[in-house]
């Protein structure tokens, strides 16, 4: 099963203040995030982390947390993921159960196959930026500090409209809206 999450910010003390997280210190936050993750993810599951996993400078520091988390992990680079190699990807795309999914740390105005009903899952905004169409903030701050399963996201997305492409949203007149075109 696939799970999706973002913006855990392990070892990032300032995130407690920035996002008003309900923990007394970074150690309590780290332990709560690990417990919430392991409550829903099984050892055979795959978790997509959409950026800002932790405030680490070295991969060895990140591994101390990763080895405590159930499942297999795919990491997408976010704003603070200096621990990831330069080759780390900024986007992840996959067809899951006949549903095309695009995951990026940042919300997009439009994304691949959006007008066909694809999903775009993002973080970065910590619950302050509502999605459009079939788009959703998967960050821990707006999801009870837990990863979301594909099934949970599907239930929400089934209630969302498809984001139409430019052709569908263009006014019915056929005039070029930017004045006269000259060559």
SS3 24: coil
More confident residue, 170 or 61: 61
Length of the chain: 183
Provide mean pLDDT across the span 127-144. 94
Q: What is the CATH number of domain 2-163?
A: 3.60.21.10
Residue 123 contacts residue 51 (beta carbons within 8 Å): yes
Residue 80 contacts residue 35 (beta carbons within 8 Å): no
SS3 154: helix
Q: So what's the pLDDT on residue 166? A: 45
What's the chain's average pLDDT? 91
Under the banding of pLDDT at 50, 70 and 90, the label for residue 103 is: very high
Residue 61 contacts residue 11 (beta carbons within 8 Å): yes
Q: What does pTM read for this prediction?
A: 0.88
Instruction: Give the tens place of pLDDT for each residue, 83-102.
Output: 999 999 999 999 999 999 99
SS3 54: strand
Helix (H) or strand (E) holding 58, with range, is: none
Domain boundaries, the chain: 2-163
* Statement: residue 176 has pLDDT above 60: no
Q: Give 64-69's long-range contacts (Cβ < 8 A, gap of 24+).
A: 65/10, 65/11, 65/30, 65/34, 68/34, 68/38, 69/34, 69/37, 69/38, 69/41
The pairing of strands 46-50 and 2-5 is parallel
More confident residue, 73 or 183: 73
């Amino acid at each position: 099963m696939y799970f999706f999450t973002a913006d855990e910010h392990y070892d990032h003390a300032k995130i407690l203040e920035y996002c008003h997280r309900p923990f007394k210190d970074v150690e309590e936050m780290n332990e709560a995030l690990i417990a919430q993750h392991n409550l829903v993810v099984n050892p055979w599951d795959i978790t997509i982390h959409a950026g800002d996993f932790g405030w680490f400078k070295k991969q060895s520091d990140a591994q101390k947390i990763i080895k405590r988390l159930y499942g297999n992990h795919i990491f997408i680079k976010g704003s603070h993921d200096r621990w990831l190699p330069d080759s780390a990807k900024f986007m992840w795309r996959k067809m899951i159960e006949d549903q095309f999914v695009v995951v990026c740390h940042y919300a997009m105005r439009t994304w691949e196959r959006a007008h066909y009903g694809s999903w775009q899952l993002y973080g970065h905004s910590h619950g302050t930026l509502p999605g459009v169409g079939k788009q959703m903030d998967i960050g821990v701050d707006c999801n009870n500090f837990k990863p979301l399963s594909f099934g949970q996201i599907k239930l929400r997305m089934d209630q969302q409209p498809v984001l139409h492409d430019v052709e569908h949203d263009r006014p019915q007149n056929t005039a070029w809206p930017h004045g006269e075109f000259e060559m």
